[in-house]
Structure formats: C-alpha cells, structure tokens
Amino acid sequence: MELKVDFIKRENEDYLLQMLDYIKLKLKESVDDLPSTETIHWADGLLLVYSITDRRSMSYLKRVGTLIADSDIPVYIVGNKNDMVHLREVSAEEGAILARNFECGFSEVAAAEMVVPVAVVFQELCRAVLAARRKSKHSLLERMLGTRTSNLRLYARGKSDSALPKD
Ligand SMILES: Nc1nc2c(ncn2[C@@H]2O[C@H](COP(=O)(O)OP(=O)(O)OP(=O)(O)O)[C@@H](O)[C@H]2O)c(=O)[nH]1
C-alpha cells in the first residue's frame, strides 16, 4: 500500500515537472515573440523598454528594430532599472547608439523609484507622435477608418462665402 502511494506521488511529480517545463517554454515563447506587423501598424508610437540589468531585453529590442526599420513610426527608447547599476549588463552608451540608429529619443530611468522621468518619456513620445502626424497629415480618425485626407473632401470656407447672405 505504501509503495502504491509512493508510486502515485512520483507519477504526479513527473507530471507536475512536465507541466512546469511546458509553462516555462510558453512563457519564454511569449517573452521572445516579436510584435506582429498588425500591432506595429496599429500603434501611433512605440516606447521600446529594456532593462539595463538584462542583456536579453536589449537583444530583443534590436530584433524589434529590424522589424520597424522601414516604418516612420515615432519611437522612444528607455533603459529601465538604472537604480541597479551594480547589476548593469547594458551600458548607457549602447542604449544611446541604438537610439541614434533609430533617430529617436533615449533615456535611462528607474520606473520603480521616480515617476517624473517616466512621465517625461511619455511626454516626449507624444510630442514625436504629434509632430509625425502634422508631417504626414494623417488624422487618428483616418487611420481608424483606413482612409486618407486626399480621399476626403473637407469643406473650407472660401472668400466668396462672405458675399453670401448669412442664412
Ligand atoms: N529595481 C527596480 N526594479 C524594477 C524597476 N521597474 C520594475 N522593476 C521590477 O521588475 C519586476 C518586473 O516588473 P513588471 O512591472 O512586472 O514589468 P514587466 O515588463 O511585466 O516585466 P517582466 O515580468 O520581467 O516581463 C518587478 O519586480 C518590478 O518591481 C526599476 O526601475 N527598478
């Protein structure tokens, strides 16, 4: 009887360990998955965040970079956890070089410590998004409808309108 119980326990243990391996694999997959083209085109701007204590997160960002290299989507790069410099695996210079390649803003922050630098990052990205929109003259509505300004006939008050009766 004791043997049987032991056998069942072991069998369950194996099963649990297999499940754990499977969960780890799935988690790794989802962490390493690159964003879909659909997601990239949906976004108005991209905030690319890596951890200065995790080289893998920087490698991931570089792979994302190849995906968005041809798009003109506004980007901002953030190196997080700069309160943990003793565990640093990515230099600030490497982050800055990546930002230069993207021609975008870059800063290191400690999201867990100070909120203001994080707010500034979002502000900067919003600025870049607005500037890009002004440049391309695509409104958010147009992007949602999948239309372009050139296809829409907007009414603009002309000079001759002032000569017309008010009502
Ligand atoms: N020391 C430090 N820890 C941080 C900082 N930002 C986040 N963390 C910690 O990092 C861990 C992951 O943070 P999350 O908010 O879960 O971030 P996430 O992007 O979902 O991270 P992952 O779960 O690793 O993919 C948590 O334990 C946070 O407390 C930071 O600036 N400094």
Between the CA of 102 and the centroid of ligand 1 the distance, in Å, is 25
DSSP letter for 111, please.
T
ipTM metric = 0.91
Q: Which tokens go with 133?
A: 């929109």
Shortest-distance Cα residue to atom 32 of ligand 1: 81
Instruction: Give the domain 43-149 fold.
Output: Rossmann fold (3.40.50)
pLDDT tens for 25-83 read 666 656 668 888 888 888 999 999 999 999 999 999 999 998 888 888 999 999 999 99
DSSP letter for 50, please.
E
Q: Which atom of ligand 1 is nearest to the CA of 111?
A: 31
Distance in angstroms (rounded) separating the CA atoms of residues 42 and 21: 34
Between the CA of 80 and the centroid of ligand 1 the distance, in Å, is 9
pLDDT of res. 6: 59
pLDDT averaged over every residue in the chain: 80
Burial 79-110 (b: 16+ CB within 10 A, else e): bbbbbeeeebebeeebbeebbeebebbbbbbb
Contact by Cβ (8 Å): 125, 99? no
Contact by Cβ (8 Å): 115, 85? no
Question: Where exactly are the structural domains of the chain?
Answer: 43-149
Contact by Cβ (8 Å): 61, 90? no
HSE, CB side, 13 Å, CA atoms: give it for residue 52. 24
Nearest Cα residue to 106 out of 146, 152, 52: 52
Whole-structure pTM over 0.95, yes or no?
Answer: no
Shortest-distance Cα residue to atom 23 of ligand 1: 31
Q: Is any ligand 1 atom within 6 A of the Cβ of residue 111?
A: yes
* 116 φ/ψ angles, rounded to the nearest 5 degrees: -60, -50
